[in-house]
Structure formats: structure tokens, C-alpha cells
Amino acid sequence: MKLLLHICCAPCALMPVEQLRAGAGEALGYFYNPNIHPYQEHERRLSALREWAVAACLPLLAEDYDPVPWLRRVAFREKDRCSLCYEMRLRRSAARARQLGAEAFSSTLLYSIYQNREQLVAAGRRAGREWEVEFLEYDFRPLWALGQAKARELQLYRQPYCGCIFSEAERYMKKKLPLSMAKGEFDAGQPS
């Protein structure tokens, strides 16, 4: 089966790629993550993924960095940013899978214990229907600890936050954020 695998980062790709090779066949890695902030972080994650993909003999397609569409999509919708982000990345992945003639697509986001699986699956199903390509809803989460240990062993870059400017702020500045920003609340005069 020809499968396009959306990849968020190298550590999250280890176990899904291993599992796919054991069962579903070969995958083409696909790096599309306009949510990652700042640019240097995006490039650091992509560089680590490229290095690992070469060692793992995983073909990899990477989109150019363009955070503007993502920022426009989530502006003033910070409470819903994760579901909007899943939707955006999985729709692009489904479209690319269809364009490349892949029979199915999936995402390493399904590996992370920190992501909302229900929202991911719903977004993947919608994208699959829209682009007429099957979304494979693998649950890679039971492999989380093993994959993280393997990432440390391989000395892969392991990022300290999900990727977006909001997750970065939550990680590093939580105690310094105004209460309204930490809760995703804004002045009544702001668009919603």
C-alpha cells in the first residue's frame, strides 16, 4: 500500500514508521507544519527529521515554511487552535496524498500522548472524505515510552513544546502570562 505519513518531528516518527513497515508497507514521509514557531525551531525540527530519514531510508517530502495561513486561521480562536491546526495539516496531507497517488494517509500526531486523539481522528476522516483518500487511524500511543527512549538513544532533537507560539508561551512563560492570555480570553472589542 502506498501511504503518505504526515510527520511532526523525528522522535514522533520512529515508532509509527517502524509499525507501518511491519504491517501496512512503505510510507512516504511528509513534513508540513506551518504552526511551528519560530522559524529556527521549524528548521531545527526539519533538519533532525531529514537526518533521521536518510539513516532510516525514509523518502521525505517537506513543504516550505509559511506560517501566515496558520496564524490567520487561529487568530482570535486560540482556545480552538489545536483542532484548527489538526484540520489544516491533515487536509494538506490528504490533498498531497491524493496528488501523489497514495492510497492512504496518516499522521505521527496519532503517536503523541499530548494530542487530542478524538479531534485528530475526526479531522483526518473529514480530510480523507474531502480528498477521497483513506485516513488510517492508527493508535501509536502505546509505543510512546519506547519511542522516546529510542529518540534519546539516537540523540535526536526532542523539542520542549508542541510547536506553535501559544504552546511555546505555555511552556516557557505560563507564570508570566496575563491571566486573560493564558485562558485564551480577549477584550470584548476583539473579533472572534
Predicted confidence (pLDDT) at residue 158 exceeds the cutoff of 70 = yes
| 139: region left, alpha or beta (phi > 0 left; psi from -120 to 50 alpha) | beta
Residue type, 3: L
Of residues 79 and 167, more confidently modeled? 79
**Average pLDDT score over the chain:** 88
Q: Could you give the CA distance from residue 130 to residue 97 in angstroms, rounded to a whole number? A: 12
Is the separation of the CB atoms in 163 and 41 below 8 Å?
yes
- Categorize the per-residue pLDDT at 155 as very low, low, confident or very high, splitting at 50, 70 and 90: very high
pLDDT in tens, 124-140: 999 999 999 999 999 99
Classify 30 as helix, strand or coil.
strand
- Categorize the per-residue pLDDT at 172 as very low, low, confident or very high, splitting at 50, 70 and 90: confident
**What is the average per-residue pLDDT within 155-176?**
75
Is the separation of the CB atoms in 65 and 180 below 8 Å?
no
The structural architecture, per CATH, of the domain 3-182 is: 3-Layer(aba) Sandwich (3.40)
pLDDT in tens, 33-70: 999 999 999 999 999 999 999 999 999 999 999 999 99
pLDDT in tens, 78-135: 888 889 999 999 999 999 999 999 999 999 999 999 999 999 999 999 999 999 999 9
Question: What is the distance of C-alpha 51 from the center of its chain?
Answer: 18
Q: Is 157 exposed, middle or buried (0-12, 13-18, 19+ CB in 10 A)?
A: middle
Residue 188: predicted pLDDT: 39
Residue 99: predicted pLDDT: 97
Query: What 8-state DSSP symbol labels residue 174?
Result: T
